[in-house]
Amino acid sequence: MNNQTNRAADRLPEEHSLTLERRARLTVTGVSEVLRVEENGVALRVGQSVLVVRGTELKLRELRPEGGRVEVLGSIDALGYETAPTGGLLRRFFG
C-alpha cells in the first residue's frame, strides 16, 4: 500500500450509518455523544466528527448507549459533518 492510500484511510471516519426515511425519521448508529438538541437542530458526535441535523420540530426518540443508536424525528432539511464541535456548521445552524 502506498503512502497516498494510507493517508486516505487515516481520514476515514469511524464506522457509523445513517438511514433517512421520508425526511421525517433519521436513524444514526455509531453515536458516541449527543452534543446538542434543539427544535431546529441536533448535533451528534460520530467518531472524530460531528453530525449536524437541521430541520424543524426535531426531537430525539431513543438513545441506546450500548449500540450508539439515536433516532431523530421531525422535518429534516439538511445533514452535514463538522470536524470540530465549535466549527462553522454548528454556528450557522444554532447561531
The pTM assigned to this predicted structure is: 0.74
Residue 87 confidence class, pLDDT cut points 50, 70, 90: low
CA 37 to the chain's CA centroid: 12
Task: Reply yes or no on domain 18-94 having CATH 2.60.40.2000.
Answer: yes
- Per residue in 28-65, pLDDT tens? 999 988 999 999 999 999 988 999 999 999 999 876 76
Provide mean pLDDT across the span 71-77.
97
- Considering only the C-alpha atoms of the chain, give the largest distance between any 2 of them, rounded to a whole number of Å: 47
Q: How confident is the prediction for the chain on average, in pLDDT?
A: 81
Residue 2 has pLDDT above 60, yes or no: no
Q: Is 24 left (phi over 0), alpha (psi -120 to 50) or beta?
A: alpha
Return the DSSP state at 21.
E
Residue 11 is predicted with a pLDDT of 47
- Rounded to a whole number of angstroms, the CA Rg of the chain reads 14
Residue 61 is predicted with a pLDDT of 84
Return the DSSP state at 13.
P
Return d(Cα 46, Cα 50) in angstroms, integer.
6
Q: Residue 81 forms beta bridges with which residues?
A: 51
